[in-house]
Amino acid sequence: MVAPVALGVGSLVWVEDSDEAWIDGEVLSVNGEDIKVLSTLGKTVVAKSANVYPKDSEAPPCGVDDMTKLAYLHEPGVLANLKSRYDINEIYTYTGNILIAVNPFQRLPHLYNSHMMAQYKGAAFGELSPHPFAVADAAYRLMRNEGISQSILVSGESGAGKTESTKLLMQYLAYMGGRSKSEGRTVEQQVLESNPVLEAFGNAKTLRNNNSSRFGKFVEIQFDQMGKISGAAIRTYLLERSRVCQVSDPERNYHCFYMLCAAPEEDMKKYKVGDPRKFHYLNQSKCYELSGVDESKEYIATKKAMDTVGISSEEQDAIFRVVAAILHLGNIEFTKGKEIDSSTPKDEKSWFHLKTAAELFMCDAKSLEDSLCKRIIVTRDETITKELDPEAAVDSRDALAKVVYSRLFDWLVDKINNSIGQDPNSKCLIGVLDIYGFESFKTNSFEQFCINLTNEKLQQHFNQHVFKMEQEEYTKEEINWSYIEFIDNKDVLDLIEKKPGGIIALLDEACMFPRSTHETFSQKLYQTFKNHKRFSKPKLARSDFTVSHYAGDVTYQTELFLDKNKDYVIAEHKDLLCASTCSFVSRLFPVSNEESSKQSKFSSIGARFKQQLQALLETLSSTEPHYIRCVKPNNLLKPAIFENQNVLQQLRCGGVMEAIRISCAGYPTKRPFLEFVHRFGILSPEVLKGSTDEVAVCKKLLDKVGLEGYQIGKTKVFLRAGQMAELDARRTEVLGRSASIIQRKIRSYMAKKNFTLLRRSAIFIQSVCRGELTRRIYERTRREASCIKIQKYLRMYLARKAYKELRLSAVSIQTGMRGMTARNELRFRQQTQAAILIQSYCRGYLARSKYIELKKATLTTQCAWRGRVARLELRKMKMAARETGALQAAKNKLEKQVEELTWRLQLEKRMRADLEEAKTRENAKLQTALEELQLQFKESKVTMLKEIEAAKVAAAEQQIPVVQEIPVIDHEMMDKVTAENEKLKAVVSSLETKIDETEKKYEETNKLSEERLKQAVEAESVIVKLKTNINRLEEKICDMESENKILRQQSLLTASKLLSENASPLPTKILENGYHASEVTTVNDILLQTPTKVYETPDSKPRRPPTDRHHEDVDTFLECVIKDVGFSQGKPVAAFTIYKCLLHWKSFECERTSVFDRLIQMIGSAIENQDSNNDHMAYWLSNTSTLLFLLEKSLKPAGTAGATPVRKAQPPTSLFGRMTMGFRSPSSTSLAAAAAAIEKVRQVEAKYPALLFKQQLNAYVEKIYGIIRDNLKKDLGAILALCIQAPRTSKGSVLRSGRSFGKDSQTNHWMAIIDCLSSLLSTLTENFVPPFLVQKIFTQTFSYVNVQLFNSLLLRRECCTFSNGEYVKSGLAELELWCCQAKEEYSGSAWDELKHIRQAVGFLVIHQKYRISYDEIINDLCPILSVQQLYRICTLYWDDNYNTRSVSTEVISNMRVLMTEDSNTAVSNSFLLDDNSSIPFSMDELSSSLRVKDFFDVKPATDLLQNPAFEFLHD
Rounded CA separation 933/1000 (Å): 12
Q: Which residues of 668-678 are buried (b: 16+ CB within 10 A; e: fewer)?
A: bbbbebbbbbb
Rounded CA separation 574/576 (Å): 5
Specify the DSSP class assigned to residue 185: B
Of 1131, 1252, 1147, which is closest to residue 1183 (Cα–Cα)? 1131
Contact between 1244 and 1149 (Cβ < 8 Å): yes
- pLDDT tens-digit series, residues 1222-1268: 433 333 333 343 343 333 356 778 888 888 888 888 899 999 999 99
Contact between 80 and 65 (Cβ < 8 Å): no
Rounded CA separation 380/606 (Å): 33
CA 534 to chain centre: 56
At 1221 the pLDDT is 42
Rounded CA separation 1040/1037 (Å): 5
Rounded CA separation 237/1028 (Å): 85
Give the list of residues 6+ apart from residue 1236 with CB closer than 8 angstroms, or none: none
Position 600 pLDDT exceeds 50: no
Q: Which secondary structure element, helix H or strand E, spans residue 433, and what is its range? A: strand 428-436
Task: Lowest mean pLDDT of 441-445, 998-1002, 1309-1313, name the range.
Answer: 998-1002
CA 433 to chain centre: 32
Roughly how many angstroms between the first and final C-alpha of the chain, as a whole number?
Answer: 95
Rounded CA separation 654/935 (Å): 108
At 1068 the pLDDT is 34
Rounded CA separation 577/584 (Å): 10
Rounded CA separation 1138/303 (Å): 69
Helix, strand, coil content of the chain in percent (nearest 5): 60, 10, 30
Contact between 27 and 8 (Cβ < 8 Å): yes
1281-1306 average pLDDT score: 51
At 329 the pLDDT is 93
Measured over the CA atoms of residue 843, residue 844, residue 846 and residue 851, the dihedral's sign is positive
Specify the DSSP class assigned to residue 726: H
Quickly count helices (H) and strands (E) in the chain: 50, 30
Specify the DSSP class assigned to residue 105: S
Residue 1060 has phi, psi (to 5 degrees) of: -70, -15
At 1207 the pLDDT is 38
At 797 the pLDDT is 92
Q: What strands lie across the sheet with 552-556, from one edge to the other? A: 535-536, 545-549, 552-556
- pLDDT tens-digit series, residues 1429-1474: 888 888 888 776 666 778 888 888 888 788 777 665 544 556 788 8
**What pairing do the DSSP bridges indicate for beta strands 216-223 and 428-436?**
antiparallel
669-682 average pLDDT score: 78
Contact between 655 and 462 (Cβ < 8 Å): yes
pLDDT tier, 1279 (very low <50, low <70, confident <90, very high otherwise): confident
> What does each C-alpha distance from 737 to 106, 682, 732, 751, 888 come to in angstroms?
49, 12, 9, 21, 116
At 1019 the pLDDT is 52
Rank 66-70, 1055-1059, 1081-1085, 1466-1470 by mean pLDDT and report only the highest: 66-70
**What pairing do the DSSP bridges indicate for beta strands 428-436 and 535-536?**
unpaired
Q: Which residues of 68-80 are buried (b: 16+ CB within 10 A; e: fewer)?
A: bbbbbbbbbbbbb
Give 519's Cβ-side CA count (13 Å radius).
Answer: 3
Q: Which secondary structure element, helix H or strand E, spans residue 94, and what is its range? A: strand 92-95
**Burial (Cβ within 10 Å: 0-12, 13-18, ≥19) of residue 555:** middle
At 955 the pLDDT is 66
At 569 the pLDDT is 63
At 1303 the pLDDT is 43
Position 1017 pLDDT exceeds 90: no
At 1233 the pLDDT is 38
The SS3 call for residue 670 is strand
At 1212 the pLDDT is 42
Percentage with pLDDT > 70 across the chain? 81
Position 1386 pLDDT exceeds 90: no
pLDDT tier, 1410 (very low <50, low <70, confident <90, very high otherwise): confident
Rank 248-252, 463-467, 1031-1035 by mean pLDDT and report only the highest: 248-252
Position 1018 pLDDT exceeds 60: no
Q: Using H for helix, E for strand and C for coil, what is the string for 1080-1122?
A: CCCHHHHCCCCCCCCCECCCCCECCCHHHCCCHHHHHHHHHHC
Of 195, 199, 224, which is closest to residue 212 (Cα–Cα)? 199
- pLDDT tens-digit series, residues 1159-1199: 888 888 888 877 778 888 899 999 999 888 888 888 776 55
Residue 1282 has phi, psi (to 5 degrees) of: -90, -20
The SS3 call for residue 151 is strand
977-1003 average pLDDT score: 76
Measured over the CA atoms of residue 7, residue 12, residue 18 and residue 21, the dihedral's sign is negative
Structural Rg of the chain based on CA atoms: 54
Residue 63 has phi, psi (to 5 degrees) of: 80, 175
Rounded CA separation 1461/1325 (Å): 51
- pLDDT tens-digit series, residues 1188-1209: 888 888 877 655 544 433 333 4
Q: Which secondary structure element, helix H or strand E, spans residue 82, and what is its range? A: helix 75-87
Rounded CA separation 75/21 (Å): 10
Percentage with pLDDT > 90 across the chain? 17
Measured over the CA atoms of residue 1487, residue 1491, residue 1492 and residue 1498, the dihedral's sign is negative
> What does each C-alpha distance from 958 to 761, 950, 1056, 1251 come to in angstroms?
119, 12, 12, 54
Q: Which secondary structure element, helix H or strand E, spans residue 376, and what is its range? A: strand 374-378
1351-1375 average pLDDT score: 84
What positions carry a catalytic annotation? Answer: 158-159, 163, 209, 212-213, 437, 439
Peptide bond into 500 cis (omega under 30): yes
Specify the DSSP class assigned to residue 1209: T
- Angle at which helix 1449-1463 crosses helix 1427-1436, to 10 degrees, equals 140
Task: Lowest mean pLDDT of 59-63, 270-274, 362-366, name the range.
Answer: 59-63
Q: Which secondary structure element, helix H or strand E, spans residue 919, and what is its range? A: helix 919-957
Rounded CA separation 884/980 (Å): 11
Position 506 pLDDT exceeds 80: yes
**Burial (Cβ within 10 Å: 0-12, 13-18, ≥19) of residue 743:** exposed
Contact between 401 and 199 (Cβ < 8 Å): no
At 3 the pLDDT is 47
- Angle at which helix 1020-1060 crosses helix 1065-1073, to 10 degrees, equals 160
- pLDDT tens-digit series, residues 1089-1138: 333 333 333 333 444 444 444 467 788 888 888 888 888 888 888 888 88
Whole-prediction pTM: 0.62
pLDDT tier, 596 (very low <50, low <70, confident <90, very high otherwise): very low
Contact between 245 and 565 (Cβ < 8 Å): no
Rounded CA separation 550/658 (Å): 7
Contact between 1259 and 1163 (Cβ < 8 Å): no
pLDDT averaged over every residue in the chain: 79
At 1146 the pLDDT is 82
- Angle at which helix 446-477 crosses helix 656-665, to 10 degrees, equals 40
pLDDT tier, 967 (very low <50, low <70, confident <90, very high otherwise): very low
